[in-house]
Amino acid sequence: MRYFLLALASGLLFSLGWPTWGFPLFLFIGFVPLLIAEREIRTSAKKRKGWQVLLFAYITFLTWNIIKTNWLWYSSEFGAVFAITVNSLLMSLVFLLYHHFAKRTTFFISTVFLTSLWICFEKLHLNWDFSWPWLNLGNGFSEFISWVQWYEYTGTFGGTLWVWIVNLALFKSYILYKEFKQKSILFRGSLKASVYILLPLIISLWMYNSYEEGGETVNVVVLQPNIDPYSEKYNVPNDEIATLLFDLTEREVTAETDFVIAPETVFADNERIEVFEESAITNRIRSFINEYPHLNFLSGVSLFKVFDDREQVTNQTNQFPNGLYYNTYNSAFMISDKPDMDLYHKSKLVVGVESTPYVGIIKPLLGDIMLDLGGTVAMKTTQEDREVFKSKNGAFATGPIICYESVYGEFVTGYIRNEANFLSIITNDAWWGETQGHKQHLSLAKLRAVETRRSIARSANTGISGFINQRGDVEETLAYNTQGALAGTLYLNDEITFYVAYGDFLYRIALFILIGVILIAFTRRRGEVGIE
């Protein structure tokens, strides 16, 4: 029962520390109960210790995953069960590896191993086919953005490292206290942990209060059509959608407006990619923006391409029963006074809904197991480069981030390296209803603003649409589940942050250290269980 309560306590602490209603100080003690349980199991005479560690770690991470990502259920019951149970298991396996490693080495080396391994695990979760980085530890500070202004140097892995350093300092103090029974050890340990928390916090608060936006500005209108994707979105012709978007635009647009931004796949009545640039809907948009000087109209659209040439088939290609092939795209496009349309295809896809993980292995075994998420089911085709949409005079350049892509820090830096001076996020966020899902998604966008020091315009179908400044503050919003348009002025920025230049360098350091401590552990005698 003691181990169960310790494991449960860790899960609850992480939940209490997580956005959007949590307080991140709880993250700094979240691992301590589970670490205590693991150590007591490891140093006991019990049998099947590894299985016990795996079980209690699973209780911790399952509790955290259920409480903070249960909103997935509203979009897909199977998807929620799969994501929650598998993610909890993967986190638990990291702890199991630490358990086996700690048995043969010192406290210091084993905890360095654990921290490095966890960072490498989070990096894996950013890049492999089963990507689900929602609960990466560095994301936990998104509602307290003034605490992590130094993310412009470290990205979210800096937050992950911060959480682990404090947890391990407190854990070490607990072990020493249990061994020597001196209350002064707890006092010194708490003081040291406080310094570890306060020093980065003070630096961040200084950066937050001293950071000033300046320079050129861009005038943006974001649209929030509030279309129900389950009953309306995929049944309304694009022409009717265009009329709605134009009506919303006219509420806020002026002769000074530079951009109008509409949500992801708002034009959901699939258009053929080969002729989309000259389609009826794009011609209507061109006619509309001709009434306003230098207006750029950015929106999401569903596109498709049908073909019979097998040489064009990729792992992202679908097939009709009649043998023809087709590609589908979740895309962003921009129409302006330039002669050619800008077009970008979403490249970080939602697992199951837009991509089948390891399709070469899974599809022959299980067939088409795509999850139904309100009509969007089909493998999507992606592109390699991060396209940047630029105005005709080149003064404005925006990175068109589509929905889930806004969760990925290093991915977003690709837009900045391609000269984006502000960012646009277009998303749906209607799938989860009035839950934490859409609130957490907005919250994570604030981290991208800090990492890149780019202002963000966010257009969400059902909300929350709004504007985020370069410090990560949400300045203005449209309430969830309302229809409307919002005008705002954003500062542009052409400077490159350290994080944009070097990306997830902390992961690369962690990987190097991980390999080093593994070599040390397996080339030395078994270490003592105590502190070294």
Angle (CA) 425 428 429, round 5° = 105
| Pairwise CA distance, residues 116 & 489, whole Å | 41
How would residue 231 be classed by pLDDT, with cut points 50, 70 and 90?
Answer: low
Report whether pLDDT(127) > 80: yes
Predicted pLDDT at 525: 56
- Give the span between the Cα atoms of 15 and 344, in whole angstroms: 36
What does the pLDDT average to over 498-522?
Answer: 94
- pTM for this prediction: 0.92
| 418-447: average pLDDT | 91
Alpha helices in 49-106 (DSSP H): 49-69, 77-102
Confidence bin at 129 (pLDDT 50/70/90): confident
In the structure encoding, which two tokens stand for residue 313, read together? Answer: 């088939």
Q: What's the average model confidence in pLDDT over 395-408?
A: 94
Residue 72 confidence (pLDDT): 85
> Band of the pLDDT at 371, cuts 50, 70, 90?
very low
Residues 297 and 260: beta-carbon distance below 8 Å: yes
pLDDT on residue 527 = 45
Specify whether the CB–CB gap between 203 and 190 falls below 8 A: no
User: Sorting pLDDT into bands at 50, 70 and 90, what band is 372?
Assistant: very low
Percent of the residues in the chain that have a pLDDT greater than 90, as a whole number: 66
- Residue identified by tokens 């649209």 is 223
Give the least confident one: 26-30, 222-226, 392-396: 392-396
Q: What integer pLDDT is reported at residue 392 of this predicted model?
A: 84
* DSSP bridge pairs for 298: 261, 334
DSSP letter at 383 equals -
Query: CB count, 10 Å around CB of 72?
Result: 22
> Which has more confidence, 348 or 62?
62
* DSSP 8-state secondary structure symbol assigned to residue 380: B
Q: How far apart are CA 447 and CA 436, in angstroms?
A: 17
What pLDDT does 187 receive?
87
State residue 344's pLDDT score: 95
Predicted pLDDT of residue 362: 57
Contact 56, 4 (CB under 8 A): yes
Question: Which tokens belong to 265?
Answer: 């796949």
Each residue's pLDDT tens digit, 257-279: 999 999 998 998 888 888 888 89
Task: Tell me which amino acid residue 239 is.
Answer: D
- Confidence label for 529 from pLDDT (cuts 50, 70 and 90): very low
Beta-carbon count within 10 A of 185 CB: 18
Q: β-strands 217-224, 484-491: how paired? A: antiparallel
Report pLDDT for 415: 96
User: Residue 297: is its pLDDT beyond 90?
Assistant: yes
Can you tell me the mean pLDDT for 456-480?
Answer: 95
80 or 109: whose pLDDT is higher?
109
Between residues 82 and 369, the one the model is more confident about? 82
Residue 360 pLDDT: 64
Going by pLDDT thresholds of 50, 70 and 90, the confidence category of residue 233 is low
Chain-centre distance for alpha carbon 243: 33
Position 373 scores a pLDDT of 35
- Tokens 């598998």 sit at which residue? 86
Quote the Cα angle for 384-499-115, to 5°: 100
The percentage of residues in the chain with a pLDDT greater than 70, rounded to a whole number, is 93
Average pLDDT, the chain: 89
Q: What is the pLDDT of residues 130-186, one digit of tens each?
A: 889 999 999 999 999 999 999 999 999 999 999 999 999 999 999 998 888 888 888
Please, where are the H alpha helices in 18-48? 32-42
Instruction: Identify the band that residue 364 occupies on the pLDDT scale cut at 50, 70 and 90.
Output: low
Q: How confident is the model at residue 374 (pLDDT cuts 50, 70, 90)?
A: very low
Residue 370 has pLDDT above 70, yes or no: no
Residue type at position 186: L
Is there a contact between 279 and 271 (Cβ–Cβ < 8 Å)? yes
